[in-house]
Amino acid sequence: MTTLTADITIIGAGMAGASLVHLLAPARAAGMSVALIDRQPLQWQDDSDARPPSFDGRATALSFGTREILNQLGLWDAIASHACPIEHIQVSDEGRFGQAHLHATEQGTPALGYIIENHQLGQALLRDIVNADDLLQLTPLSVEQVKMNADGALLQLSDGRKLQTRLLIMADGGRSPLMTQLGIQSKRNDYGTHALVTQVECDQPHNNWAYERFSQDGPIAFLPLHKNQYAVVWTLDADVIDAMLALDEATLLAKLQQRIGHRVGRLTRIGSRVSYPLALVKASEQVRRSLVLLGNAAHSLHPVAGQGFNLTLRDAASLAEHLNKAALDGLNPGDLNVLERYLKQQVTDQRNTVTASDWLPRLFAQPNALVACARDGGLLALAAMPTARRLFARHAMGQGQRAARIG
Ligand SMILES: Cc1cc2nc3c(=O)[nH]c(=O)nc-3n(C[C@H](O)[C@H](O)[C@H](O)COP(=O)(O)OP(=O)(O)OC[C@H]3O[C@@H](n4cnc5c(N)ncnc54)[C@H](O)[C@@H]3O)c2cc1C
């Protein structure tokens, strides 16, 4: 059988891999060949589970920084028609007096972020990819084996073909057996919790408010979706998640109502529910000669701060900036110097974002009275001090980091 070739090969057409394909448009235009492989099809019917798992029944909070990148890629208009702007955020601590409000107008932006259902995001990201004729699309097809060699990486595909590539980008998610084949370890800190994800309807419109409420049971986020609907992410201990998933609708609605209070009005309906085990997973290495790990393969975060994809998109934009330049300069995309420059540019952003996403659920899970007072203090400081609010909002909005050059 013939061996296929590509300058750059991306394994994974989830949020990470699909975004990177768009960001690599200048390298493709400069003649670099790009292959995209996923074991799932890139087009699917609404009722089918055969789709990249990034685009399942969840909803995602896109930061304002993410909007800016998607806008520069020409994708924002398609996304905006399905996305709900967050204009206000209330952060509160159940049973305590600390509470803070953030408002888009105070930050001088039209929105603090946007909520979109993942399947809509997937359709917007994949629509042009499916029709791109300068892209080698190998879907639905699995990569069964990866071997690094002097020319880059040699992949064994599930249909028996092989693919030789100068640069391999593994955007294959948080549980990659291919990483293990390459001897890359990942450090996993289980939080001992699961995210219960669902959608609810209320008897009043959300008016573009999002609510983040912390309790000893775990944080709960109500994120505005459609007129009077919220996407809900509730972090629960591993030993109660099965019982919660098994509750009938009325009982689960009552429990949610108890947690969120009446700030959202009366909850009237609940959609289907799914759960995800939560862990902070970090790869021990992200770049090697001819190899980059991207997205969940590089770092998978607690969803409470809604930063996983937002960070990944900033990583992808920065990686593409270096690869696009390499294409124009006639360099090998797998050159270790090129890849190390990318990582050096992103390391601080990654460290700060990972630390904040890890620290937030731990801080708010602490029953200790002193810590609870400190939380109140922090929330009151946010409530009282515009500067503190601005700094907090800039982090939540995915701003304050160096913006990658796109295009
Ligand atoms: C409950 C929850 C809520 C979240 N909310 C937010 C949020 O509000 N904001 C935010 O920014 N982030 C959020 N995230 C994080 C976000 O969902 C992830 O960052 C994102 O889905 C990661 O995408 P990925 O492309 O890296 O990995 P994946 O989605 O896992 O994609 C990997 C792809 O690789 C393919 N693949 C794997 N192995 C192979 C192989 N051997 N051969 C071929 N194909 C292969 C798979 O089919 C898959 O399509 C949330 C996460 C969770 C769990």
Determine whether the shortest distance from the Cβ of 178 to ligand 1 is under 6 A: yes
pLDDT at 4 over 70: yes
Mean pLDDT on 301-329 = 94
Mean pLDDT on 260-285 = 94
Supply 24's token pair. Answer: 């690599």
Nearest atom in ligand 1 to 144's CA: 41
pLDDT > 70: percent of the chain = 88
pLDDT: which is higher, 33 or 212: 33
Supply 101's token pair. Answer: 């409000």
Report helix, strand or coil for 256.
helix
Determine whether the shortest distance from the Cβ of 146 to ligand 1 is under 6 A: no
Ligand 1 mutation target, pool 10, 23, 38, most atoms within 8 A of CB: 38
Distance, in Å, from the CA atom of 399 to the CA atom of 407, rounded to the nearest integer, reads 20
Give pLDDT, residue 158: 97
Give pLDDT, residue 48: 82
For the chain, the domains span: 3-83+118-188+280-368
pLDDT at 304 over 70: yes
Query: Which of these CATH numbers, 3.50.50.60, 2.30.110.10, 3.40.50.1580, 1.10.10.60, describes 3-83+118-188+280-368?
Result: 3.50.50.60
Supply 20's token pair. Answer: 């990177």
pLDDT: which is higher, 238 or 402: 238
Report helix, strand or coil for 137.
strand
Q: Which amino acid is residue 209, in one-letter code? A: W
Q: How confident is the model at residue 59 (pLDDT cuts 50, 70, 90)?
A: very high
Q: Which of 62-76, 249-263, 382-396 has the lowest mean pLDDT?
A: 382-396
> How far, in Å, is the centroid of ligand 1 from the Cα of 15?
6
**Distances in Å between the alpha carbon of 87 and those of 219, 229, 342, 357?**
21, 15, 33, 22
**Distances in Å between the alpha carbon of 167 and those of 138, 183, 314?**
16, 18, 20
Mean pLDDT on 294-306 = 90
Establish whether the linkage from the previous residue to 361 is cis, with ω within 30° of 0: no
Q: Are strands 135-138 and 162-170 parallel, antiparallel or unpaired?
A: unpaired
Give pLDDT, residue 107: 83
pLDDT: which is higher, 146 or 307: 146
Distance, in Å, from the CA atom of 352 to the CA atom of 359, rounded to the nearest integer, reads 10
**Distances in Å between the alpha carbon of 274 and those of 20, 120, 219, 222, 242?**
28, 18, 17, 16, 10
Among left, alpha and beta (phi > 0; psi -120 to 50; other), residue 117 is beta
> How far, in Å, is the centroid of ligand 1 from the Cα of 178?
16
Determine whether the shortest distance from the Cβ of 306 to ligand 1 is under 6 A: yes
Determine whether the shortest distance from the Cβ of 15 to ligand 1 is under 6 A: yes
Residues 6+ apart with CB under 8 A from 107: 390, 393, 394, 397
**Distances in Å between the alpha carbon of 85 and those of 203, 219, 245?**
20, 22, 29
> How far, in Å, is the centroid of ligand 1 from the Cα of 237?
22
How does DSSP classify residue 14? Answer: S
Give pLDDT, residue 55: 93
Distance, in Å, from the CA atom of 47 to the CA atom of 53, rounded to the nearest integer, reads 14
Q: Are strands 186-202 and 274-283 parallel, antiparallel or unpaired?
A: antiparallel
Q: Residue 311 half-sphere exposure, CB side, CA atoms within 13 Å?
A: 28
Give pLDDT, residue 366: 57
Q: Are 39 and 13 in contact (CB under 8 A)?
A: no
> How far, in Å, is the centroid of ligand 1 from the Cα of 112?
23
Nearest residue to 307 (alpha-carbon basis) of 170, 381, 400: 400
Q: Are 212 and 306 in contact (CB under 8 A)?
A: no
Give pLDDT, residue 309: 96
How far is residue 35 CA from its own chain's centroid? 22
Determine whether the shortest distance from the Cβ of 53 to ligand 1 is under 6 A: yes
Residues 104-121 have pLDDT tens digits of 998 888 999 999 999 999
Q: Are 37 and 10 in contact (CB under 8 A)?
A: yes
Q: Are 333 and 8 in contact (CB under 8 A)?
A: yes
Nearest atom in ligand 1 to 195's CA: 1
CA pseudo-torsion sign 107, 302, 202, 211: negative
Q: What is the mean pLDDT of the chain?
A: 90
Determine whether the shortest distance from the Cβ of 118 to ligand 1 is under 6 A: no
Residues 336-378 have pLDDT tens digits of 999 999 999 999 999 999 988 887 666 655 555 555 555 555 5
Mean pLDDT on 269-277 = 94
Report helix, strand or coil for 99.
strand
Neighbouring-strand partners of residue 136:
35
Q: How confident is the model at residue 7 (pLDDT cuts 50, 70, 90)?
A: very high
Distance, in Å, from the CA atom of 289 to the CA atom of 168, rounded to the nearest integer, reads 9
Residues 150-204 have pLDDT tens digits of 999 999 999 999 999 999 999 999 888 999 999 999 999 998 999 999 999 999 9
Mean pLDDT on 296-318 = 92
Q: Are 287 and 167 in contact (CB under 8 A)?
A: no
Residues 6+ apart with CB under 8 A from 132: 21
pLDDT: which is higher, 250 or 370: 250
Determine whether the shortest distance from the Cβ of 165 to ligand 1 is under 6 A: no
Nearest atom in ligand 1 to 54's CA: 29
Distance, in Å, from the CA atom of 20 to the CA atom of 317, rounded to the nearest integer, reads 7
Distance, in Å, from the CA atom of 95 to the CA atom of 211, rounded to the nearest integer, reads 15
Give pLDDT, residue 256: 94
Give pLDDT, residue 77: 96
Supply 365's token pair. Answer: 């899970």
